[in-house]
Structure 1
Amino acid sequence: MSGSDHTFLGGLFIGVFIAFILYGIFIVQVYIYSLHCKEDTKWLKCLVSVVMILETLHTALMFDQMYHYAVTGFGRPDIIEKIDWTVAGIVVTENIAVALVQGFYVYRVWLLSNNSRAWVVGMVSLQNIPALLPLLIGILVFSVFTSTRSVCVTTHTWAEYQTRTENKVGVNLANITSVVADTAVAVAMVYHLSRSERYFKRTDSVLRWLIAYSVNTGVLTMLFALATIITYAYVKDNLIYAGLVVVSGKICANSMLGALNARHVLRDRLNDTTYLGSGPCSTVQFRSEVDQESPVTIDMSNSEVTVTAQESV
C-alpha cells in the first residue's frame, strides 16, 4: 500500500478500530440489559433486539469493508478509490439504528413532559420542545434517505462523493439535523428534570445524574456530528469523516443501552434513601419536602426513569 493510500484510509481505519471496541462494549451492555429487563414492555425489548441486530450487521459490514480495502485492494489504487458495496450497507444499517435511538430519546422526553401533545406555531419555548421533536425526526429521516441514496445509487468513487452538490447537501443536512435534534432532546430533558428537582431534596443526586447523563450524551454526539461536517467539507485527501460517522453510530447505540442499564442502579440508590410506597417495587413515591401536598413520583418501570410532580394549586 502506498503512502497516499495510508493517508487516504488512515482516518477510516482508526474510526473502524474504535467502532469495534465500542461494539464490544455494546454487546456487554446488551447482556447486562438482558439480566434486568423482565419488567420491560415487549416493544422495548424488541427495540433493543433490533438495534443489536443492526449494530452486529453494521460491524460485520465494516469488517468486510476493511478486508476489501486493506487486503484485496493492497497496492491497487483503482480499488481503493472506488466505493465498495459494503459502504452502502454500512450507511443503511447505521442510519436505521440511529433513527431508532433518536425515536427512543423522543419518547423519553415525551414521558418527562407528561405526555404533552401541544403544538404551538410561532411560539417555541422549552415547554413545547417535545412537540417539535417529531418534526426534527421527520427531517432526519429525509436527510438519511438523501445521504443513503447518494452512496447507494448516484456515487461510484470517493472523490465524486465529496464533490457532488447532492451529496454535500445530504451529508450536511443529516448532520445538522442530528445536532439540532440532540440539542433539543438534551435541553428538553434538562428542563423537565430541573423542574422536578425543586420539589424535593432526597433524590437530588439521582436527578443530577440524569441531567449530567443527558447533557454529556447530547454534547458528545453533537460534537461528532459537527466534526463530521467540518472534515467532510475541508479534508479531501482522507476518509476521517467516514471514521467519525461509524464511531458516532456506535456511541448512539451505547448511550441508549447505558440509559436503560442505569435504571436498576438508580433504583437501588433511591431504595436506600427514600420511603417506598405501596406501589410496585420499581416505583418510588414520596411527598415533597418543600410542599407536603405535592406528591412526587419517580417511576423506573418499563422503559424509563420518569419523574413527575404535581404542583399544589
Structure 2
Amino acid sequence: MAENSNSRTAYPDVTKVAAPLLLGPLFNWTLYGVLCVQMYVYSYNFPKDRRSIKFLAYFVFLLDTAQTALTGADIYYWFVEGFGDVERLKRSHFSPIDSPITTTVISFIVQGYFCYRIWLLNKRSLWICLIIAISAVTQVVAAIWLGTTSLIAGKYVVTKAGVYLWSIPSALADILIAVAMTLLLRVASSNFSSFVLIRVVRLTIETNTLTASLAITILVLYAAFPGELYYMYLTKVIGKVLQHALSEPQQSHLLP
C-alpha cells in the first residue's frame, strides 16, 4: 500500500494521462463494431454498386481497420506489457500513426469524395470545392507533421500551430460540405424523389455537422486544458464518423 501511495504522489496526474489513452481506443473499438455491421449491410444489399465507390468504401474501411489495430497495440504496450510503468504512458508508441495521421487521411479521402459530389451537382460550385480542397489538404499536412514529429521523438509533441492547422480547416471543410450539399440538393430536387432528397440531405447534415463539432471540440479541449491529453478522446473516432457517410448504402448510388 505504501508503494502505491508513493507512486501516486510522484505522479499526481497519472489519471489525466491514462484516461484519454484508454477510453479513446475503447470508444474507437465500439464504433468499429458499428462500422463492420454497416459495411456488411452495404456489401450485401448493393453488390452491383459502382466499382469506384465500392473501391473507395472498402479502401477507407481497410485504413480504419489498420487504425483500430494500432490502437489495440498501443493499449497492449501501455497497460499490459507496461503494467505499472507510469513512465511508459509518456511514450507515444504507434499512437501518432493511428491518430492524427491515419484518421486525418481518412477524413481527407471522404472530404474529397464529397467535394467531387458537390462539383457534379453544380459545375459552377468550383470555388466552394477549391476552398474545401485547400482546407482538406491543410489539415492532412498538419496532421502528418504532428504525427511524424511525435513518432520520431517517441513522445507526444504537440504545438498550437499544428493543432490549429489540423482542427480548424477540418471543421471548415465539414461545415462547407454540409451547407453546400444541402443547398445544391435542394436546387436539384426535381431530379430526386422527396424521400431520396430528405434521406441524402439528412445524412449529409448529420455526418458533416457531427465531424465539424468534433473538430471544434478537440480545439476547445486543447485550448482549455493546455498540456493535457483530453482531446485525444475524440481524435481516434473522427475517421469512423466520416466513414459512415461513405459506406452508407443510401448515399453511394442516389447521387450522380
If the length of structure 1 is used for normalisation, what is the TM-score? 0.71
Residue correspondence of structure 1 range 252-263 to structure 2 within 5 A:
252-258=242-248, 261-263=249-251
Picking from 39, 44, 47, the partner of 2:56 is 47
1:191 aligns to what? 183
Tell me, in whole angstroms, the C-alpha distance in 2 between the residues paired with 1:189 and 1:118: 10
Tell me, in whole angstroms, the C-alpha distance in 2 between the residues paired with 1:177 and 1:131: 13
Aligned identity (percent) is 26
Residue correspondence of structure 1 range 1-313 to structure 2 within 5 A:
2=8, 4-84=13-93, 86-91=94-99, 92-113=101-122, 116=123, 128-153=127-152, 155-158=153-156, 161-162=157-158, 167-197=159-189, 199=190, 203-236=193-226, 238-258=228-248, 261-263=249-251, 303-306=252-255
Tell me, in whole angstroms, the C-alpha distance in 1 between the residues paired with 2:96 and 2:210: 25
Tell me which protein shows more strand as a share of its residues.
Answer: 1
Pick 1 or 2: higher relative contact order, CA cutoff 8 A, min separation 6: 2
Q: 1:156 to 1:10 in 2, by over 3 A?
A: same
Alignment length (residue pairs)? 246
What is the Cα-based RMSD across aligned positions, in Å? 2.4
Q: 1:129 to 1:118 in 2, by over 3 A?
A: closer
- The one-letter amino acid of 2:180's match is A
If the length of structure 2 is used for normalisation, what is the TM-score? 0.85
Measure how far apart 1:238 and its partner are.
Answer: 4.1
Q: 1:175 to 1:218 in 2, by over 3 A?
A: same
Larger Rg: 1
Give unmatched runs, 5+ long, in structure 1. 120-127, 264-302, 308-313
Q: 1:210 to 1:118 in 2, by over 3 A?
A: closer
Q: 1:156 to 1:47 in 2, by over 3 A?
A: same
Tell me, in whole angstroms, the C-alpha distance in 2 between the residues paired with 1:49 and 1:204: 29
